[in-house]
C-alpha cells in the first residue's frame, strides 16, 4: 500500500524503508579534500567501502573522504564539524538539504528525506499521457508505460542509457548500468540519425546529449510531446515522464550538444 507520492510517483512502505538506510546510514562520508587545512589537521581519516547508494547519496564522485558514525562526529572539535558539514553541503549541490543521522531522521520523520529526493527534480507527468499515446508508442517502446513513474527498487545503478534501452524492450537493460559504448552500439544498430525537431512529436525519437564529444545523457520520446527520462543512475532518480521541452531545457549546459536518432521500425 502506498504511503505517499514523491515527485508524482507512488512509493510503498518497503521502498521507503530501504531509502532510509541509503539516505541516512549509521556511518556517513564527508569530503575531507574540501576542508581548510587548519581544520583538516584535527580530523582523522577513516576509510570504508561505500555501497553504490551511499556514493550517490553523498555525491562521492571524486576526491578524498572520511567516515564517522554519529558519536564519533559529535566528539570532533566544533570547528572541524562545521568545516565538514560545509564541505558536504558544497559537494551535494544542487541537492538542497544535508543528509541526517538515523537518530535525527527518526525524530523528524520521512519528510526531510522526501524533500531531499524531490529537490531539483520536476515531478513525473506519466499520469497525464493519453491512452492513445501509450498505445501508439507500444510498437517501438513496448516497456515504456510499465516503467514510467517508477523508482528502481534495487537502488542505484540503472541509468539514462539503460532506461532508453529498457523502454525499447532490450533484454537485461532495466536493472543495470549501460555504458556509453554499449549504448552507442545500440544506436548504430537500432536507430538512424535525424535532423531538426520534426520527429519530436512522434514515439521512438532518441534525444542524445554529448559533453565535449562524449555521450552524456539520453531520453526517448513517447509521442505527443512527451519523453521517457531517467536523469541519473542514483537510487533517488526515478523513471520520469516529462515534456520534450522540459527535457531539452534540463540539459542546456556549456559544452553539450543535442543529437537526434529515430528507432527503426521492427520488421
- Mean pLDDT over residues 20-27, rounded? 96
Q: How many domains are contained in the chain?
A: 2
107 & 127 share domain: no
Residues 88 and 193 in one domain: no
At 267, is the pLDDT very low, low, confident or very high (cuts 50, 70, 90)? Answer: very low
Q: Which of 227, 201, 219 is nearest to 128 (CA)?
A: 227
Confidence of residue 42 (pLDDT cuts 50, 70, 90): confident
State the pLDDT at residue 38: 82
| Residue 145 domain boundaries | 123-263
Residues 35 and 64 in one domain: yes
pLDDT per position as a tens digit, 133-169: 999 999 999 999 999 999 999 999 999 999 999 999 9
73 & 8 share domain: yes
- Per 3-state DSSP, the chain is made up of helix, strand and coil in percentages (nearest 5) of 35, 20, 40
Instruction: Among 93, 117, 141, give the residue marking a domain's end.
Output: 117
| 96 and 132 both lie in a single domain | no
pLDDT for the residue numbered 248:
96
So what's the pLDDT on residue 1? Answer: 45
What is the C-alpha R_g of the chain? 20
> What pLDDT shows up at residue 238?
98
CA distance 251 to 235: 20
Q: Can you list the alpha helix ranges (DSSP code H) found in the chain?
A: 13-23, 37-40, 52-58, 70-74, 78-92, 102-108, 111-118, 131-137, 144-147, 160-167, 180-190, 244-250
CA-closest candidate to residue 255, choices 200, 218, 214:
214
Do 63 and 168 fall within a single domain? Answer: no
110/239 same-domain check? no
Q: Are residues 108 and 128 in the same domain?
A: no
pLDDT per position as a tens digit, 117-132: 999 899 999 999 999 9
All three cell numbers of 15, joined, read: 521502498
Q: Cis (ω within 30 of 0) for the bond into 94?
A: yes
Count each helix (H run) and each strand (E run) in the chain, helices first. 12, 10
Are 196 and 224 members of one domain?
yes
Give residue-wise pLDDT tens across range 183-201: 999 999 999 999 999 999 9
Residue 83 has pLDDT above 90, yes or no: yes
Which residues face 208 on adjacent strands? 218, 259
- Which ranges constitute the DSSP H helices of 170-254? 180-190, 244-250
| 264, 212 Cβ separation under 8 angstroms | no
**pLDDT computed for residue 266 by the predictor:** 63
Question: Of 117, 139, 159, which one is at a domain's C-terminal end?
Answer: 117
Please check whether residues 151 and 228 belong to one and the same domain: yes
Model pTM above 0.95: no
Span 3-23, average pLDDT = 94
CA distance 265 to 267: 6
- 72 with 157, same domain: the answer is no
Q: Are residues 98 and 213 in the same domain?
A: no
Amino acid at each position: 500500500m502506498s504511503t505517499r507520492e514523491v515527485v508524482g510517483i507512488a512509493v510503498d512502505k518497503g521502498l521507503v524503508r530501504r531509502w532510509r538506510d541509503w539516505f541516512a546510514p549509521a556511518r556517513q562520508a564527508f569530503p575531507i579534500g574540501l576542508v581548510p587545512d587548519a581544520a583538516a589537521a584535527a580530523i582523522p581519516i577513516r576509510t570504508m567501502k561505500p555501497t553504490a547508494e551511499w556514493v550517490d547519496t553523498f555525491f562521492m564522485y571524486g576526491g578524498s573522504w572520511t567516515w564517522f558514525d554519529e558519536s564519533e562526529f559529535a566528539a570532533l572539535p566544533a570547528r572541524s564539524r562545521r568545516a565538514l558539514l560545509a564541505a558536504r553541503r558544497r559537494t551535494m549541490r544542487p541537492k538542497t538539504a544535508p543528509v541526517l543521522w538515523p537518530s535525527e531522521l527518526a525524530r523528524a520523520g520521512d519528510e526531510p528525506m522526501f524533500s531531499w529526493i524531490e529537490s531539483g527534480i520536476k515531478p513525473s507527468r506519466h499520469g497525464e499521457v493519453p491512452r492513445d499515446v501509450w498505445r501508439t508508442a507500444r510498437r517501438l517502446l513496448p516497456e515504456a508505460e510499465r516503467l514510467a513513474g517508477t523508482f528502481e527498487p534495487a537502488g542505484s545503478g540503472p541509468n539514462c542509457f539503460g532506461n532508453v534501452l529498457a523502454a525499447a524492450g532490450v533484454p537485461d537493460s532495466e536493472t543495470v548500468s549501460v555504458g556509453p559504448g554499449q549504448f552507442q552500439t545500440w544506436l548504430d544498430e537500432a536507430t538512424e540519425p535525424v535532423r531538426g525537431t520534426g520527429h519530436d512529436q512522434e514515439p521512438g525519437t532518441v534525444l542524445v546529449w554529448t559533453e565535449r564529444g562524449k555521450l552524456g545523457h539520453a531520453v526517448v520520446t513517447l509521442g505527443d510531446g512527451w519523453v521517457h527520462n531517467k536523469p541519473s543512475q542514483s537510487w533517488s532518480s526515478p523513471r520520469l515522464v516529462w515534456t520534450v521541452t522540459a527535457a531539452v531545457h534540463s540539459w542546456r549546459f556549456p559544452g553539450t550538444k543535442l543529437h537526434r536518432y529515430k528507432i527503426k521500425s521492427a520488421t
